[in-house]
Amino acid sequence: MKLYIYDHCPFCVKARMIFGLKNIPVELNVLMNDDVDTPTRMIGQKMAPILQKDDSRYMAESMDIVHYVDKLDGTPLLTGARNPAIATWLRKVNEYANRLLLPRMAKASFDEFSTPEARAYFTEKKQASIGAFDEHLAHSPGLIKNISDDLRALDKHIKAPNAVNGELSEDDIDLFPLLRNLTLVQGITWPTRVADYRDNMAKQTQVNLLTSMAI
């Protein structure tokens, strides 16, 4: 199977996670951020992730991919109960996280931005959505304090380092991509249980953290 992704994309991380958790081989292909033609040829629109299955058919939508891969061998892993507190926490943080993340992603050395045109495409599209990146970067100290406080609140909900609720569930698929992307931000204070969970999930899923690119 082949998985077409952007490395910065949290939805792509969701799809990558299930392959790592189940130790199923997959060929990762990074799309250039300004490449409209390739995904449109596959699924009719510019979107990632895209799974090319063994029968060469394409599948979009991250959670559809997760469910498909999880059930391939008849023994799904994501069987644990969900905790509504995780969804509530994610809703709160996602209200402002992009103001921290998108300006830093635009500066980072992701493969999908390896040409000036691809980086400019991302910057133009995202600034049209959230406003000038420089302004958000100027407000980083307050946003970093907010996320550090919110991570401290999350800490009490971490039941085990290998699964947020003690047993792997869709909450892990939702939570880890955001924590992974937050490693792109310098200066965040990570509580012990959240940091242990973040690091362990990176190993379990075989999805790298972004600490080496932190800004």
Q: What is the CATH number of the domain that holds 9?
A: 3.40.30.10
What does the alpha-carbon distance between residue 111 and residue 36 come to, in Å, rounded to a whole number? 16
Q: What is this structure's pTM?
A: 0.95
Going by pLDDT thresholds of 50, 70 and 90, the confidence category of residue 165 is very high
Q: How far is CA 64 from the centre of its chain?
A: 16
Mean pLDDT of 71-88: 97
pLDDT given for residue 138 in this prediction = 95
- DSSP 3-state of 42: helix
- The one-character DSSP state at 160 is B
- DSSP 3-state of 60: strand
Full domain range(s) for residue 143: 88-213
pLDDT given for residue 48 in this prediction = 97
* 163 shares its domain with 130: yes
Going by pLDDT thresholds of 50, 70 and 90, the confidence category of residue 73 is very high
- With respect to residue 117, please indicate whether it lies within any of the assigned structural domains: yes
* 56 shares its domain with 13: yes
Mean model confidence pLDDT for the chain? 97
* 31 shares its domain with 131: no
pLDDT given for residue 209 in this prediction = 98
Structure tokens at 31: 């799309």
pLDDT given for residue 37 in this prediction = 97
Going by pLDDT thresholds of 50, 70 and 90, the confidence category of residue 169 is very high
* Residue 126 neighbours by CB under 8 Å, 6+ apart: 98, 102, 106, 133
What does the alpha-carbon distance between residue 112 and residue 185 come to, in Å, rounded to a whole number? 19
* 156 shares its domain with 190: yes
Cβ 59 vs Cβ 51: under 8 Å: yes
Cβ 147 vs Cβ 190: under 8 Å: no
pLDDT given for residue 50 in this prediction = 98
pLDDT given for residue 176 in this prediction = 98
pLDDT given for residue 193 in this prediction = 98
* 65 shares its domain with 96: no
pLDDT given for residue 124 in this prediction = 97
pLDDT given for residue 195 in this prediction = 98
Sheet with 27-30: list strands edge to edge: 27-30, 2-5, 50-52, 58-60
- With respect to residue 78, please indicate whether it lies within any of the assigned structural domains: no
Cβ 67 vs Cβ 15: under 8 Å: no
